[in-house]
């Protein structure tokens, strides 16, 4: 047995087990990951789906307005370039019967980007095959994440995961991978604000490492952020832009401890009790203190070696969580409802879970074993509920081709889209 030398990469010892992952295997795992994503809610592909504003706002505008005007039109207080591009492509590239498959395919591309980063990363905490498989399962099976599945509206959250992963990976890599990372970092802020808050961490790591490659990453993220903030970002009145510290603690408990550990359905009774207490004007101190204690321990464990990968991943996850819950549409105590705003918790949960994986890969005694045990349990819970969506509205809806046929027969027909109750008005075919 060949003994591999222990190397330091991003501050974590890789150990002697190094993954023998060929390019063919990487491509195979990427395709399997994409297939797993598609299998979660197969009706999306069988029936064709526009999701909410993806059809009602973005595709309707692409149908009525010039492509150039639609591509850079902000919505919801910011530019969402991927959603705009998906709508324009759906309008211009295919017939209306096939239009939803363009946005779904584009969404799948961006949902697969974090998996590509994981498989080609070279990060020390992803050197073993079990770590790579665990990372892919973390991405593919998180509980209560269906809202970000296979639709372009929320590609920004997958790009936020990409940014967090890039932050915790070696800055220098192959030429094509460097270019791919820079493109993701520049594009991420142009799809929403989630990536923007990670800019200080990239700058800090560039200063610490004195790395030219890390400075290039910071510059790419800065360029996209400057364009979003300078040209498109505005105040959206429906957003809360406020959350009490005690409510935030309750939200973190429900979304990042309770749901991942017991699943979305079993989390409902306790989440409802916490919500009821807050709405009644009382603070459920037991829940608040449990949340604060749990995250304090987690932060203390990783920040003891604050320059290493688990710390960067956890800091990124907590920061994206704070921004998401602070600016959530109709947020506040509504975020304590298990089925509300699932999009806001996907990226933070993924990054926090990667922090556990990085801890488990470090092989440092009790902490690593505890992290590995907890991570395995999170994956088991995710797999157990994988084909049982937290709400049927995400998995089932009207057949798009039938709706188009009815619209062609009667131009006044309003095309039903997902979720139930949403309709789209298109001009005469």
Q: What is the reported pLDDT for 364?
A: 72
| Intra-chain end-to-end CA distance of the chain, in Å | 68
Q: What is the reported pLDDT for 16?
A: 36
Q: What is the reported pLDDT for 4?
A: 37
Distance in angstroms (rounded) separating the CA atoms of residues 264 and 267: 5
Q: What is the reported pLDDT for 429?
A: 65
Q: What is the reported pLDDT for 308?
A: 87
Q: What is the reported pLDDT for 20?
A: 67
Q: What is the reported pLDDT for 2?
A: 36
Q: Average pLDDT by consecutive 10-residue portion of the chain (429 residues)?
A: 38 44 91 96 96 96 94 95 97 96 98 96 88 96 94 97 96 87 97 96 95 95 97 85 94 97 94 96 96 96 86 96 93 94 96 96 86 95 91 94 95 94 87
Residue 25 CA, chain-centre distance (Å), reads 24
Q: What is the reported pLDDT for 365?
A: 86
Distance in angstroms (rounded) separating the CA atoms of residues 208 and 145: 35
Helix (H) or strand (E) holding 381: helix 366-384
The answer to whether 84 and 78 are in contact (CB under 8 A) is no
Q: What is the reported pLDDT for 19?
A: 57
DSSP H helices in 168-211: 175-187, 199-209
Give just the sign of the alpha carbon dihedral 285, 286, 291, 296: positive
The answer to whether 395 and 277 are in contact (CB under 8 A) is no
Q: What is the reported pLDDT for 236?
A: 81
Query: Does the predicted model carry a pTM greater than 0.75?
Result: yes
Helix (H) or strand (E) holding 275: helix 264-279
Distance in angstroms (rounded) separating the CA atoms of residues 142 and 133: 14
Distance in angstroms (rounded) separating the CA atoms of residues 163 and 160: 5
The answer to whether 150 and 111 are in contact (CB under 8 A) is yes
Q: What is the reported pLDDT for 15?
A: 37
Residue 140 CA, chain-centre distance (Å), reads 10
Q: Helices 199-209 and 155-167 sit at what angle, rounded to 10 degrees?
A: 20
Task: Give residues with Cβ within 8 angstroms of 209, minimum separation 6.
Answer: 171
Instruction: Please give the angle made by the CA atoms of 96, 100 and 105, to the nearest 5 degrees.
Output: 130
Task: Locate 210 and state its tokens.
Answer: 């004195």
Q: Helices 343-361 and 366-384 sit at what angle, rounded to 10 degrees?
A: 140
Distance in angstroms (rounded) separating the CA atoms of residues 35 and 42: 10
Task: Locate 99 and state its tokens.
Answer: 């239009």
């Amino acid at each position: 047995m060949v003994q591999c030398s222990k190397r330091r990469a991003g501050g974590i010892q890789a150990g002697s087990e190094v993954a023998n992952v060929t390019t063919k295997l990487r491509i195979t795992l990427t395709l399997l990951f994409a297939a797993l994503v598609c299998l979660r809610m197969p009706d999306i592909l069988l029936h064709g789906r526009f999701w909410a504003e993806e059809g009602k706002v973005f595709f309707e505008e692409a149908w009525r307005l010039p492509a150039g005007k639609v591509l850079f039109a902000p919505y919801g207080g910011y530019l969402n370039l991927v959603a705009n591009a998906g709508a324009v492509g759906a309008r211009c590239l295919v017939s209306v019967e096939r239009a939803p498959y363009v946005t779904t395919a584009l969404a799948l591309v961006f949902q697969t980007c974090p998996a590509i980063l994981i498989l080609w990363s070279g990060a020390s905490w992803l050197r073993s095959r079990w770590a790579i498989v665990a990372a892919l399962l973390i991405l593919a099976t998180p509980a209560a994440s269906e809202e970000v599945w296979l639709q372009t509206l929320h590609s920004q959250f997958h790009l936020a995961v990409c940014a967090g992963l890039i932050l915790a990976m070696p800055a220098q890599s192959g030429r094509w991978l460097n270019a791919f990372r820079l493109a993701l970092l520049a594009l991420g802020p142009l799809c929403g604000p989630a990536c923007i808050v990670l800019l200080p961490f990239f700058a800090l790591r560039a200063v610490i490492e004195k790395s030219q490659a890390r400075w290039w990453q910071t510059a790419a993220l800065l360029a996209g952020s400057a364009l979003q903030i300078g040209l498109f970002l505005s105040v959206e009145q429906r957003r809360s832009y406020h959350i009490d510290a005690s409510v935030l603690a309750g939200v973190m408990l429900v979304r990042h401890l309770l749901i991942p550990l017991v699943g979305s359905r079993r989390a409902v009774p306790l989440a409802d009790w916490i919500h009821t207490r807050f709405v009644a004007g009382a603070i459920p101190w037991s829940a608040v203190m449990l949340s604060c204690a749990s995250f304090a321990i987690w932060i203390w464990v990783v920040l003891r070696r604050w320059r290493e990968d688990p710390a960067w991943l956890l800091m990124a996850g907590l920061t994206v969580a704070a921004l998401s819950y602070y600016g959530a549409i109709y947020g506040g105590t509504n975020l304590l409802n298990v089925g509300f705003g699932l999009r806001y918790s996907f990226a933070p949960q993924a990054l926090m879970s990667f922090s556990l994986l990085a801890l488990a890969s470090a092989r440092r005694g009790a902490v690593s074993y505890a992290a590995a045990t907890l991570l395995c349990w999170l994956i088991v819970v995710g797999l157990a509920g994988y084909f049982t969506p937290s709400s049927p509205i995400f998995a089932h809806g009207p057949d798009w081709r039938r709706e188009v046929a009815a619209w062609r027969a009667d131009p006044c027909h309003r095309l039903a889209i997902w979720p139930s109750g949403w309709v789209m008005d298109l001009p005469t075919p």
